[in-house]
Structure 1
Amino acid sequence: MKGLLKSKSISISLHILIWGILLSLPYFVSSADHAYKIGSLPGLFFTVCGVIHMVIFYTNAYFLCPNFLNRRRWWIYIPGVILLIAGSFQLKYFIMAHWFPELLGNIAAYKFVFAPSIGTYIISLVYRKVLDKINYEKEQKEKQAEQLTTELKFLRSQVSPHFLFNVLTNLVSLARKKSDQLEPALIRLSELMRYMLYDTQGKKVMLTKEIAYLNSYIELQKLRFGSDVQIENNMQLEDTDSHYTIEPMLLIPFVENAFKHGMGNIQQPKINIQLAVANDILTFEVWNQFDNDPDSSKDENSGIGLSNVRSRLDLLYKGRHKLIISDQNNLFHITLTLELT
């Protein structure tokens, strides 16, 4: 809102400046000894005509064009323009006849009296077209921004239920085992839910919080699988990198995917997660083995997470990220590089 008011204020000031210069031009370029004349036109007459030109300019630009021309109501617009210009001719002639009769006999001066009315109309028409184009482009950008916001909200809403479904499945497994680890797992889950519900409402979060969130998720998985899976996790930041921010819950789908497809019938499964920041570039890598058997079971939600994160990356970090995914020799490997702010 402040930006809009500032823009309008600048526009109004610019109009006042331009018209102020035009109306006072005779008093800058001429002198009282010559009646402030510009050519054969007295300064006062030039200024009065300038006021008439202002009326033509703003009447056409802000009334006739927006209300009739853009709506294709030519049957009103064309007579309106003719009436506006013809009216200015009549008014100028009346002023000449009553206040400046010496101009009536100067036929050569007529073109400097009447032609500017037509010139002012043409300038106002061009101005209106340019203004309409600027407003249209602005509206399109606002619509794109609104669409982007809506799409991001939708994508975020997909993340939380999908993640929660996987975690609850893990907790069910602990409950079935009547494990003593169920209580600390529930406490850790409550911390994750607090992060998702409250800390991710802004546009971005501190990278340190996102890493803490990922580490909590990994600890939940360790509670579930214990020594059945070998996990190598190295996600540490230097103190000088603690100021970076990132879109919340952007990295979790890769970690989820590793645990979801890196277990099953795999012998001695291993998952490796690495995160590093250097020169404003985040490098995030995840490796996991996977079962290449086409008959292995996959639920219908498989792939939602990675598809989601691809969309979010395209929306939020367009031209500022690179995602490489490979799945050779039963090893799934993702590498994400991201320009941080």
Structure 2
Amino acid sequence: MKTVLRIFESGLWLIGLFVLTWPAFGLTMGHFSAEDGGLFWSSLVGTIINVVIFYGNALYLMPRQLAKRKRKQYVLSLVIAFVLLTLLEITFDYLLLQTLGRPVAWYNGELIGMVLVFNFFFLFLSLGYGFFLIWLRDTQYQKELEREKLASELNFLRSQINPHFLFNTLNNLFAMSRKNGDYTTAEQLARLAGIMRYMLYETNADRVSLRKEMEYLQNYIELQQLRFQESDPITINCTWPEDDESLRIAPFLLIPFVENAFQYGISLTRPSAIALSCKVENGHLLFTLQNTIHKVNSKEVGGIGLQNATQRLKLIYPEKHQLEISTEENWYRVQLKVDCKN
């Protein structure tokens, strides 16, 4: 990308030089004319010096000094470089006019003024360009820091639990349940073991199988439903996509929305409902979640989990996702579309 940009910019410099100095246009600038070639040589050297001022300031001085808060050093370096380059260009133009038989005084105001106008113009352009590059670099750096922060938080959560102890305990409980004929409890323990296995061992990569992520959500919802009695006024409907091993997704991307639905959408005393739908269309995951809200202030629904999920989407799927969250009366709705092709 940088190479293409530099080629494009070089092309603009060359086009400008060509238009300015082509004899057919018959242009004149100050003491120089395109017809005798004087304008070409003056513009060529002037363009080279303008390029040095523009890129030297934007790509070298500003990133190495100004961006590192070495302001005094930057100003001194910029002034010295600007003065030396300007004197060099004025000297060349003076000698060129001598060669062309049109000598002028060294302190000729028109000659000096023309050089200063162009050099100051490109200096100001380079300041804008340099500040843009610094802003772009800082933005990318902040995104990388946020990405590393999220990854470190995820690793910290994993490291808080001793997986061997948990699995040994779950296996013992599973065996005891089957031995006592309590197959329902054994089944739920198997679901919990599946969740733990997925969280600790199968999510170390940047992307996981969409099928694995769906199984994780199903196990989570099944375990959540253990809290409810058949007489509770709670309705939970889920639609899952067909198995597709080719699609992959960032792990734990959807669970914050599901956790939020159970936290704010379920009441054991009032009618409650959660409707979840996952579909796959043309390599895109279409995730829709709707739940009732049982809070006085519906704006309070959500929290750090949803903020984290939203931030991860921006970092992992920039320009490749669409997220819409809306609240209507006592209903909370999440619609998410993610490009899972890459």
TM-score by length of structure 2 reads 0.63
Deviation at 1:202? 2.5
Correspondent of 2:3 among 2, 8, 18: 8
Indicate yes or no: 2:202 matched with 1:198: yes
Distance change >3 Å, CA 286–CA 211, structure 1 → 2: farther
Deviation at 1:125, TM superposition (A): 0.9
Partner of 1:59: 52
CA distance in 1, matches of 2:19, 2:43: 9
**Does residue 1:311 correspond to 2:303, yes or no?**
no
| 2:42 equivalent to 1:38 | no
For the 8 Å contact 1:313–1:321, the answer to whether it is kept is: no
Q: Is the 8 A contact 2:240 2:277 kept in 1?
A: yes
* Bigger Rg, which one: 1
Whether 1:47 aligns to 2:40 is: yes
Q: Structure 2: how far apart are the matches of 1:321 and 1:162?
A: 33
Q: Name 2:17's counterpart in structure 1.
A: 22
Q: Deviations over 1:58-99 (max 9, x none)?
A: 3323446743884323445434433322232222212221x2
Aligned alpha-carbon RMSD (Å): 5.2
In the alignment, what sits opposite 2:149? 151
Task: Name the CA distance, whole Å, in 2 between partners of 1:177 and 1:286.
Answer: 37
- Asked if 1:72 is matched to 2:68, the reply is no
When the two structures are superposed, what TM-score results if normalisation uses the length of structure 1? Answer: 0.63
The answer on whether the counterparts of 2:293 and 2:332 sit within 8 Å (CA) in structure 1 is no
1:163–1:226 Cα change, 3 Å:
farther
Tell me how far apart the structure 1 counterparts of residues 216 and 8 of structure 2 sit (CA, whole Å): 51
Identity %: 18
Distance 1:229 1:163 in 2: 36
Tell me how far apart the structure 2 counterparts of residues 287 and 175 of structure 1 sit (CA, whole Å): 35
Q: Closer, same or farther in 2 for the Cα pair 1:261/1:288, shift >3 Å?
A: same
Q: In structure 2, how many angstroms separate the alpha carbons of the residues matched to 1:287 and 1:174?
A: 38
After superposition, where does 1:1-341 map in structure 2 within 5 Å? 6-23=1-18, 25-27=20-22, 29-30=24-25, 38=28, 41=33, 42-63=35-56, 66-67=60-61, 70=66, 71-73=71-73, 74-97=75-98, 99-101=99-101, 103-104=102-103, 113-157=111-155, 175=173, 178-180=176-178, 181=183, 188-189=191-192, 191-196=194-199, 197-199=201-203, 201-202=205-206, 206=210, 209-219=212-222, 233-237=236-240, 248-252=251-255, 273-276=274-277, 282-285=287-290, 307-316=303-312, 320-322=323-325, 335-341=332-338
Q: C-alpha displacement at 1:123, in angstroms?
A: 1.9
How has the CA–CA distance of structure 1 residues 28 and 192 changed in structure 2, closer, same or farther, with 3 Å as cutoff? Answer: farther
Unaligned runs of 5+ in 1: 1-5, 31-35, 290-305, 327-332
CA distance in 1, matches of 2:264, 2:15: 73
Distance in 1 (alpha carbons) for counterparts of 2:214 and 2:46: 65
User: How many pairs were matched up?
Assistant: 298
- Measured in 1, the distance between the counterparts of 2:124 and 2:72 equals 17
Judged with a 3 Å threshold, the aligned counterparts in structure 2 of structure 1 residues 78 and 274 are, in CA distance, closer, same or farther, namely: closer
Question: Using a 3 Å threshold, how does the CA distance of structure 1 residues 275 and 43 change in structure 2: closer, same or farther?
Answer: farther
